[in-house]
Structure 1
Amino acid sequence: MTPDQADDPPQDPPARPPVQPADGSLSSTPPEPASGGHRPRSARTGVTGLVVLAVLVVAAGLLWDVVAVRTGHQARRWRAEAAHQVAVRELSDTWVLVGAGAAVVVGAGLVWLAFAAGLRRWLPLGVGDGTAAVDRAGVAAVIRGRAHELPEVTAATVKVRQARTTVTIRGTADPAAVQRELREELAQVPLARPHRLDVRTHRADR
C-alpha cells in the first residue's frame, strides 16, 4: 500500500433501497439475511374474499333451486317470493329504489377497491421475521444506477416485477457481461423468493 492510498478516505458502500418492516416505517439499513418471507397482503384482500364468498353462496343457492325445479320439484319459497315481488312492484316503489341505491353503493365500493393502490409494488425480503419488504422502485433505482456505472452503457430502462426484472440498455456494451454485473448487484438485495434478471439491448442499437 502506497502512502497516497493510505491517505485516501474510505469509500461508502452503495446505498440500498428502503425496506418496510411490519409497522409500516421505512429503514435504509440493510438487515441481516435470514430465511422466509412472504408477499405483503393488502387490507382489501379480506374484503374481496368476503365478496367472492357471498357471490358463490348466492349463485350456488340459485343454481340448486333451478336444478330442483328442472327435475320436477317446487321452487323454494324465497325464490318464488322474490320473483313475485319483482313482477308486482313498480320502479317507483320505495323498496326498489332502496335496493337500487344499495346496489350502486356496493358497486362503487367494489370499483374503488379494484383501483385502489395495493401492495404489489413491495417485494418480500428474506430477513428477520419475514415481514420486511422492499419497494420495487428502490430495486429498480439500484439496478439502474449500477448499469449507468458500466462502461459503454449510455442508457438503461429497468422494469421490476414480482419475479422478474427486465433491463433494456443502450450502447455498445456486451449484454452478457452487463447481465452478470447486474445479477451480482441484485444478489445484494436479500429477496425472499428467486428473482430473475434479464438484459436486452435496444432495437436501434442492434
Structure 2
Amino acid sequence: MSERDDDNTADRPGDTRPLLQKQNPDRLDQSASAASYTPVLTPPEGGEHRHRWSVRRWPAVVVGLLGLGAAGLLLYDVAAVRADRPAMRWRHVLGEQLAERSLDDPWVLAGAGVAALLGLWLLLLVVTPGHRSTLAMRSGEQDVRAWLDAEAAALVLRDRAMEVPGVRSVRVRVRRAKVDVRAVAHFRELDDVRADLDTVLGDGIAALGLSRAPALNVRVARPGKRG
C-alpha cells in the first residue's frame, strides 16, 4: 500500500488510529514565559501580621564599646588634671583645632557628616524590626508568635516546583513581599509549565501558613545553547 493510500485510510470515518499533526512552530520557538500575581488567602486563613524584632546585638556592642572607651578616656584625663598632672595631648590638640578652625572648614563638616550618618543609622536600627530573613506565620493563640525562615520556605517551594513535569531546574528566592521563581523547562510548552507552576506554588505558599501571602513572580525559560 502506498503512502497516499495510508493517508486516505487515516482520513476514513471508521479508522481509530491516532493522527500525528505538526505542532505550531511559533509556539516551539518561544523562549520565555512569565507571570506575576498574589495568592489570595481566605479570611479564616488570614491573621495578624507582625515582624520579628531584632535585638540588634552587634550594633549595640559596637556603640557600647565606643561609648565606654570614650567615657573612660575622658574620665581618666579629668582625674589626671585634678591630680595636678598635665592633660593628655589629644585634649590640647582638640582644643587648638576647635579654636582655630571655623564651622565651614572641610574637616569640621566631614566630622559633622559622619556623626549625623551614625546617628541616622542608629535611629534606623531603632525604628526597623530587622530579621528580614524571617516570615511571620499565622497563630491560633493571641500570645503565641511564630516565624518561618525564608531559606526554608524557598527550599519547600523549590521541591514542589521540581515535581512539575517539564521543569529541569528552578531557583526560588523568598522575601517578605515577593517570591521570585526562575525555572528552566526542557520540554512541554512554556505557558503550560508556567501555569502549572503558578498553581503548585500558589498552593505551596498557602500551605506555608504565612500571615500575609507574598506576591508570586514566575518566569520559565528554555535552556541556554551550549558552546
- Shorter-chain TM band: 0.3 to 0.5
| TM-score of the aligned structures, taking structure 1 as reference length | 0.48
| TM-score of the aligned structures, taking structure 2 as reference length | 0.44
Larger-Rg structure: 2
